[in-house]
Chains A and B, each alone.
Chain A
Amino acid sequence: MRKLPWVFIAVLLSLPAAAQDAAPGVQDVATDAPRAAPAFAAAASDVSARTLDEEVQELKQLAVDLNRDLFLLEEELLFPASTQVAIFVSMDVGEFFALDSVEIKLDDKDVTNYLYTEREVDALHRGGVQRVYVGNLRAGEHELVAFFTGEGTYERDYRRGATITFEKGIGPKFIELTISDEEDKLQPVFLVREWE
């Protein structure tokens, strides 16, 4: 007896679908009625599949958001703003230099030696900025030395260093290493910039 209202609702729900199918010709109602049920089932399964897909996408988005939050939290814990120093690499044109690797020393201590693949160099050429190093430094004066290795003009092996002495305050310190071109001399130029 308790199932009866549900059967009634199901019949009511199936009526519009049957009516839609029957719309082109009234005389087809009798023949279309059996066809309406599978059509309704297909539409219902389509809707449920879409809903499921939306739910999966929502869950994926939630997982991505959660992962990002965790990453930020981890970064804040590992590299607090008061001691954080981050070094970035970017490229401005860079026609006279094919980058192979960047070696970075902070206060005469090797902190990273990064080898670049073709895809990474291509990404830099297209305007990408890479965070090559993030670490902690106490407040005070520090020295950064960066060695760029690669191929210069006329396919010659090229290794050039760039140095900067910077003051680390209480806030995070961002340093950008930019590879640029000096067109007059057909030489690459390596610039170091500080960002607060």
Chain B
Amino acid sequence: MRVIGRQFGVALLVASGLVSAAAAALAGTAAPDFVLKGVNGRNFRLSEYRGQVVLLSFGASWCGDCRSQLEELGELYDRYAGAGLEMVAISLDRDFDDVADTAAQLDTGFPTLHDAGGATAELYQVNRMPYVVLIDQDGIVRDEFTGFSKGEGSRYVDQARTLLAE
């Protein structure tokens, strides 16, 4: 049993290593450009936000942590939007109405986009949700965060503030 337990532990470590390696694969590289339709009817192209720090949050309406994260980010958004921080929620829901309903409920203040075919999630190698990507003013991916626990939003914002000060 001990051997099995150890093997399981090693497998878990390897697996977690693989996951983190995959998650950190984009850090330091140019953020892939994309254009997506927003629930407000406007289209959003990432490259148009060069010169600003951009926080992308990938999630879905059925993901509880994603909703909690967006609620927290919504509270922080008003404070930092004027400073040059742009936040964007990217929903991987299949149904546009689900995305629109969730956006209306949360009323975050920042754009919610619909990645209907999942092409953008694929570009960003999203394998867990919520997944946050921080992009600096030069369009380089600087940080990635997976999962969410209450209060973690301020961690993203602290990191974003560092990027804003560069």
Contacts and interface: CB of A to CB of B under 8 A. Distances in A.
A116 interface: yes
B42 A118 contact: yes
Contacts of B36: 115
A118 B35 CA distance: 12
Interface in B36-58: 36-37, 42-45, 48
A37 B35 CA distance: 59
A119 B48 contact: yes
Interface in B1-51: 35-37, 42-45, 48
B44 to A, nearest CB: 7
A116 B37 CA distance: 9
A71 B59 CA distance: 37
Contacts of B35: 115, 117
A155 to B, nearest CB: 10
A100 B42 CA distance: 8
Contacts of A115: 35-37, 43, 45
A31 B144 CA distance: 63
B37 A117 contact: no
B119 to A, nearest CB: 11
Interface in A90-105: 100-101
Nearest to B34: A115
A100 to B, nearest CB: 7
A115 B34 CA distance: 10
Contact of A100 (B43, B44, B45, B48): B43
Interface in A118-134: 118-120
Nearest to B38: A117
Nearest to B37: A115
Contacts of A100: 43
Q: Tell which of B37, B44, B45 has the most Cβ of chain A within 10 Å.
A: B45
Contacts of A119: 48
A100 B45 CA distance: 13
Nearest to A114: B35
A54 B43 CA distance: 41
A79 B43 CA distance: 30
18 contacts: A100-B43, A101-B43, A115-B35, A115-B36, A115-B37, A115-B43, A115-B45, A116-B43, A117-B35, A117-B42, A117-B43, A117-B44, A117-B45, A117-B48, A118-B42, A118-B43, A119-B48, A120-B45
The 7 closest A-B pairs by CB, nearest first: A115-B43, A115-B35, A117-B45, A117-B43, A119-B48, A117-B48, A116-B43
Given A115-B37, A117-B48, 7 more contacts: A115-B35, A115-B36, A117-B42, A117-B43, A117-B45, A118-B43, A119-B48
